[in-house]
Amino acid sequence: MVLLHGGGANAHWWDPIASELCRHRPVIALDFRGHGDSDYPEALEVGAFNADLEALCEHLGSDTLDLVGHSMGAQVALDHASRHPNIGKLVLLDPARGASRRSRRVARLALSLRRSYASREEAIERYRVVPPSDRIATALLRRIAEYSTRQEDDGRWGFKFDPRWFGVPSRPPPDPGQVRAEVLILRGGESSLLSPKGAETLVAEFPNARLVTIPEAGHHIHLDQPERTLEALIQFLRPDIDPGEAEPA
C-alpha cells in the first residue's frame, strides 16, 4: 500500500493510521519532491509528483499496489490509476471538487507564502494546517509539526515544503472513467474543498466507486478523525479482516 500526502504536507501526516495499516500489509508513505525529507530540486516540472509515484512503483516492481491519497496526493493517485489499469484499490481522501473559487484561492495563497521563525520551537508553535482545523488533537498536531520543521540556510526555521510548487500548473485532469480499480472516496463531513454535490458527481464518474462521509471531519480527515478513517479504510481494503484480530507486521 502506498500513501500519498497532500500539498505542503509530508509522509508523517499518515502517522495516526499508518502503524495500524502496517498490521495488514507492507505500507510505504512517500515524500514528494520538494516536501518532507525528499530533495528540493531547483527546476520545477509539470507532472513532477506524478513522475515521483511512477518511479516509486517501478522501484517496487509491482503494478498491483493499493493507492491511498489525500488532497493533492489523491489527484496524483487518480491520475496514475487512470493510466495504469492493473493497480489494486484506490482510496481518495477529500480530493478538491465543487469548492468555491474563493476557498481554493485562499488555500493556495496560504500555502504559497514562505514563512520562517527565529527558533524551532516558535516554528512548531506556529504550525497550522491549510485549510484550518480545530478538530486535530493538540498532541497530534505538535507531533506532525515536529516532523515538519527544518532550519533554513539563513539560520531561521521554516516548514518542510517548497511553496514554489503551488505556482506550477497541474497536468490535464484525468478521466475517472478510465479507472478500472475499485474506488473509495472519503469526504470530511465539514470539508470546504469537497462539497457534497462535488463528491456525488465525482463518484458517478467512476465505473466502480463508493462514497463514505466521515462526520466531524474537515478536509484533513485522517488527522481530524483518525480512528473513523482507519475503520473505513480497513473495511474497504480488507473486508475479510476484523481490525482487532490482525497480527502485527
Q: What is the pLDDT of residue 248?
A: 43
Q: What is the pLDDT of residues 32-76, one digit of tens each?
A: 999 999 999 999 999 999 999 999 999 998 768 999 999 999 999
Q: What is the pLDDT of residue 15?
A: 96
Which structural domain range is residue 233 located in? 2-98+179-245
Residue 57 sits in a domain whose CATH number is 3.40.50.1820
Better-predicted residue by pLDDT, 167 or 135: 135
Cell 490535464 found at = 172
Q: Is residue 129 assigned to a domain?
A: no
Looking at the predicted structure, is the pLDDT value of residue 18 above 70? yes
Q: Is residue 65 assigned to a domain?
A: yes
Q: Is residue 39 assigned to a domain?
A: yes
Judge contact between 108 and 165, C-beta under 8 A: no
Q: Mention every residue, 6+ apart, whose C-beta is less than 8 A from residue 179.
A: 78, 81, 82, 90, 206, 207
Q: What is the pLDDT of residue 245?
A: 53
Please state the pTM of the whole predicted model. Answer: 0.93
Cell triple for 205: 464518474
Looking at the predicted structure, is the pLDDT value of residue 103 above 60? yes
Q: Is residue 121 assigned to a domain?
A: no
Q: What is the pLDDT of residue 239?
A: 76
Q: What is the pLDDT of residue 242?
A: 60
Q: What is the pLDDT of residue 59?
A: 94
- CA angle 126-131-137, nearest 5°? 60
Q: What is the pLDDT of residue 244?
A: 53
Looking at the predicted structure, is the pLDDT value of residue 247 above 70? no
Cell triple for 66: 493499493
Number of domains in the chain: 1
Mean pLDDT score, 158-180:
93
Q: Is residue 136 assigned to a domain?
A: no
Kindly state the percentage of the chain with pLDDT values over 90: 82
Lowest mean pLDDT among 7-11, 89-93, 169-173, 243-247: 243-247
Lowest mean pLDDT among 46-55, 108-117, 178-187, 193-202: 108-117
Q: Is residue 104 assigned to a domain?
A: no
Q: Is residue 112 assigned to a domain?
A: no
Q: What is the pLDDT of residue 150?
A: 96
Q: Is residue 192 assigned to a domain?
A: yes
Cα distance between residue 168 and residue 9, in whole Å: 17
CB hemisphere CA count around 16 (13 angstroms):
23
pLDDT band at 170 (very low <50, low <70, confident <90, very high): confident
Average pLDDT, the chain: 92
Mean pLDDT score, 217-229:
98
Looking at the predicted structure, is the pLDDT value of residue 175 above 70? yes
